[in-house]
Amino acid sequence: MLLIYIKNVKIYIMTVKVSYDNKLSFKRVTREIWDEFVYGSHLVALGDALALYVLSLILNMNITISFFIVVYLSILAINFFNRYKDIDQDNLTNTERSTSVSKYFKFMPYIMGFLFLVSVVITALYAPFNALVFMLFLFGLGIFYSIYLKSVTRKVIGFKNFMTALPYALLVIFLSLFYNASIELSTILITTFYFIRIFINTTFFDIKDIKSDKLEGLRTFPVVFGENKTRIILAYLNIFSIIPIILGIYWKILPFYSIALIVTVFYSFIYLEKRKWFKKQTTLYNVVVDGEFIFWLPYILVGKTLL
C-alpha cells in the first residue's frame, strides 16, 4: 500500500513539474513575442500605419490594405536599418532593444532589403508611378540622412529631430499620391499636424540619448537645452500642435469630429510631465512613447460616433 502511495506521489510530482515547465515555456514564448513586437519596431510601424488610416478618414479617403501593408513594411525596413546602424548606441542607451535585436542582427540587412522590395512591388502594382517615385524619395531620404547628413546635426540645432520627423509627416503626401488625390489645404494642415506630433515624440525620445549624442557631438534639443527646458519646449509645441486641426474645422475643410485628436495633447502630457509614473525607462520610451499613435484610432472612432 505504501509503495502504491509513493508511486502516486511521484506521478503527481511529475505532473506538476510538467505543468510548471509548460507554464514557464508559455511565459517565455509570450515574453519573446512581446519583446519582438516592441523592440523589433513592429509597435512603431503599426502605430504609424494606424495613424495614417485615421488621417485618411479625416481627409475622406478610402484606403485599401495595400497601402497599409506598404506603410507598415516601409517603416519596419527603415527602422531595421537604423537599429542595425545604431547598434553600438543602443548597447549604451537601450540595452533591452539591442539584446532583442542581437538575435537576428546579422540577417537584418537581408530582412530590410526584403521588406523594402515587397513595399516597392506593391506600390508599383497598386499606385501611380509618381507615388512610387515619392516612396523611393522618402526611403532614400531616411538612408541618406543616416549615412551622410547626420553630421549636419553637429552644426544645426535640432536637425536630427527635424529629419527624423519629416519623412513620417510626408507619408500624408504619399497617401494622396498613392490614391491619385489632389493635395489641398486640408492635406497640408494634416501633414503639419502629423509633423509636429512626430517631432514631439522623437525629440522626447532623444532625452534618453543625451550622453551618447553628446559623445557624437550631435546638437539635439535635449543636448543643447537640457532635459527640463526641452520638456518645456515640447509642452508648448504639444499645445500648438492642435492649431492646424482647429483651423481646418474653422475653415470647414476638416470634419468637426477631427477635434477628437485633441486627446493626443493630453496623452503626450503623460510622458512629458508624469515620467515618475513609470519605474522602467524602457516602459516609458519603448511602450508609452512608441505606442502613442496606436490610440489615435479609438480617439477618432469615438469622436466620429459622438460628434
Count CB-CB contacts under 10 A for residue 93: 18
**Per-residue pLDDT tens over the stretch 108-119:** 888 888 999 999
Q: Within 10 Å of residue 272's Cβ, how many Cβ atoms?
A: 18
Say what the pLDDT of residue 37 is: 77
Count of C-beta atoms within a 10 Å radius of residue 14 = 10
Locus of grid cell 477631427? 258
Cα 57 from chain centre: 20
101 by Cβ neighbours in 10 Å (0-12 / 13-18 / 19+) ranks as buried
Is residue 68 domain-resident?
A: yes
Is 25 inside any structural domain? no
Q: Does residue 10 lie in a domain region? A: no
| pLDDT of 91 | 61
Residue 97, pLDDT score? 65
**CATH number of the domain that residue 72 is part of:** 1.10.600
In a domain, 301, yes or no: yes
Number of domains forming the structure of the chain: 1
SS3 215: helix
According to the model, what pLDDT value does residue 208 have? Answer: 80
Q: What is 3-37 written as a DSSP string?
A: HHHHHHHHHHHHHHHHHHHHHHHHHHHHHHHHHHH
Structural domain contains residue 3: no
Residue 52 lies in a domain: yes
Residue 136 buriedness (CB in 10 A; 0-12 / 13-18 / 19+): middle
Q: What is the pLDDT along the chain (307 residues), one digit of tens a residue?
A: 434 434 443 443 454 444 445 555 777 778 778 777 777 778 888 999 999 999 999 999 988 999 999 999 999 888 877 777 766 665 666 666 667 667 777 778 888 889 999 999 999 999 999 999 999 999 888 888 777 777 787 888 888 889 889 999 999 999 999 999 999 999 999 999 999 999 999 898 888 888 878 887 888 899 999 989 999 999 999 999 999 999 999 999 999 999 999 999 999 988 888 766 666 666 677 777 878 899 999 999 999 898 7
User: Residue 228: inside a domain, yes or no?
Assistant: yes
Q: How many helices (H) and strands (E) does the chain have?
A: 16, 0
Longest dimension (CA), the chain: 89
Residue 19 lies in a domain: no
pLDDT, position 153 = 78
Range of the domain at 289: 43-306
pLDDT score recorded for residue 16: 42
